[in-house]
Amino acid sequence: MSLVKLLLLMSLALVMRAGAAVEIQRPRGVPLSKRQFYEEEKPFTCLDGSRTIPFDRVNDDYCDCKDGSDEPGTAACPNGSFHCTNAGFRPAFIPSSRINDGICDCCDTTDEYNSGATCQNTCRELGRKERESLQKMAEVTREGFMLKQQLIHEAKKGQEEKQVKLTEFQSTKKGLEEKVEALRTVKEIAEEPEKEAKERHLKAWEEQKELIRMEKDKARMAEAFLELDDDADGYVSVAELQSHPELDPDSDGSLTETETQGLLGGADKVDTTAFESVWSSIKGKYLLESQSDPPAPVETPQEEARDLGSDHDSDHYPEDYAGEDEDEEEDEEDDDPEEEEDKAPPTVRTPEKKEDDEMSMPPYDAETQGLVDAAQKARDDFDEAERALREVDDQIKSLEKEIGFDFGPSAEFAYLYSQCYELSTSEYVYRLCPFNRVSQKPKFGGSETNLGLWGQWAGPEDNIYAVMKYDHGTGCWQGPNRSTTVKLTCGKETVVTSTSEPSRCEYLMEFTTPAVCQEPPSLEEALHGHTEL
């Protein structure tokens, strides 16, 4: 029996007890439910069946039965219990040791029948207050249950609408899948001539660039020949070529006569025709006089120090000055060849490379541009259709998840989905998002802490939907991950009523909702199920 039904039964029982209850004679301390075991005309058998005694030994202030059942109205048996009739209020049992101890434990004062204690019968007043409280709770239950019926109706309607939407989305998805495949084919067909046209354009441009490079190279070669032919005799000689040390093949700093003859193909001089073969080997290093001077080499800190000389104190640069008094041979021996090899050579931007960078590919001709535009439109159409398909697929997954969720026997908890409820305390704001997560955030700055993600319904077997469990929250310092248990109680409103931390990193929330309210029993059911008054 649910708590609500039990409370309502008690309320009805109290009303009837307060009105027309008739006290049935029985030994002091015996509840009505056990009256049949105490018949004055017959010997009394201990309720545990251990022995039988004459009835006049019942309540004679001496314990004969091991279970204390022969002394329900005295304090003789340490394990006995006394039944308070409490007419007008709830019946109750108290330990027999409290009988006649001078303290009134029964509201009808029957436990102090021989102590001389001054007691007042407060049962009717207590009953009145409890009836008022129980009636209010019963009213809340009735209203909550009515709201629950509305929630169930709305949930059913919502589920039907979601199912219709799901069917529509599934139909739309099928159409979009066919459209995407059709547009994929269109795209692939459009991209093939586009690719070929782009390749033709690029090939023609590369050929054009090569012709331009060749023409420029010839012009540079002619200019170089005229610059090298110092005496204008129509020949470039060994002596004339030696004036360009940058052409040194082994980069040792000097261009010897032998090296120069090697550049000239073994000849002492060459004319314009023979110079073509010479130019192909030197043009990578040759600098035209019309070109800007090459950038000055970057000096090392030591070289800067040497150049500054008198402007620096030698004490500050002992290493820099140490070599000035030594000869050249010693300086060369101090150079580390491995260190020189590790240094990456400076990046040289050749004239050809510079020219290539400055040459931009011309725009496509009208035919190629038309193919590019057509292919791009096909790609855009395909991308748009594919994006629409992804969006519909996401909608389907979301609806399928929501439709398949366990929202209770009649989907009465469905209205909590995608909602959040907060409780503010002196330090924190607690946030419960049913079927999603629980969090805690300091009121005066600080980041939010995850107290658990939706796990499962965790109530007892006969009422599994009375408790929610949220697990895998933020880990505690040297402790477990945070988790939260949410206990649901019947109420007209949906609200978080309290929160606590019974154990480290384990939180407890009280949450009221009409969705857990049970149907109250009818008067006939209450009377049928409750006969003892």
Neighbouring C-beta atoms of residue 431, cutoff 10 Å: 19
pLDDT for res 131: 85
pLDDT for res 5: 53
pLDDT-derived band at 347, boundaries 50, 70, 90:
very low
d(C-alpha 106, C-alpha 112), whole Å: 8
Per-residue pLDDT at 333 exceeds 50: no
What backbone phi and psi angles, to 5 degrees, belong to 513? -160, 140
Q: And the tokens for 258? A: 């032998």
Q: What is the mean pLDDT of residues 222-232?
A: 90
d(C-alpha 182, C-alpha 198), whole Å: 24
| Top CATH class, 414-516 | mainly beta
pLDDT for res 395: 95
The residue type found at 367 is: E
Q: And the tokens for 92? A: 């109750």
Q: In whole numbers, what is the pLDDT of the chain averaged over residues?
A: 83
Lowest mean pLDDT among 16-25, 75-84, 235-244, 410-419: 16-25
d(C-alpha 346, C-alpha 525), whole Å: 100
d(C-alpha 423, C-alpha 419), whole Å: 14
d(C-alpha 445, C-alpha 6), whole Å: 46
DSSP, res 476: P
User: Between 288 and 120, whose confidence is greater?
Assistant: 120
Per-residue pLDDT at 297 exceeds 90: no
pLDDT-derived band at 306, boundaries 50, 70, 90:
very low
Per-residue pLDDT at 335 exceeds 60: no
Please report, rounded to a whole number, the percentage of residues in the chain having pLDDT higher than 90.
58
- pLDDT per position as a tens digit, 137-154: 888 888 989 999 999 999
Q: What is the mean pLDDT of residues 419-431?
A: 95
What backbone phi and psi angles, to 5 degrees, belong to 436? -135, -75
- pLDDT per position as a tens digit, 4-30: 455 555 555 544 444 444 556 789 999
pLDDT for res 334: 43
User: Between 423 and 284, whose confidence is greater?
Assistant: 423
d(C-alpha 58, C-alpha 43), whole Å: 10
Where exactly are the structural domains of the chain? 3-121, 295-349, 414-516
Lowest mean pLDDT among 10-19, 337-346, 384-393: 337-346
pLDDT for res 292: 43
User: Helix, strand, or coil here: 295?
Assistant: coil
Q: Is 60 exposed, middle or buried (0-12, 13-18, 19+ CB in 10 A)?
A: middle
pLDDT for res 260: 83
User: Between 445 and 515, whose confidence is greater?
Assistant: 515
DSSP, res 174: H
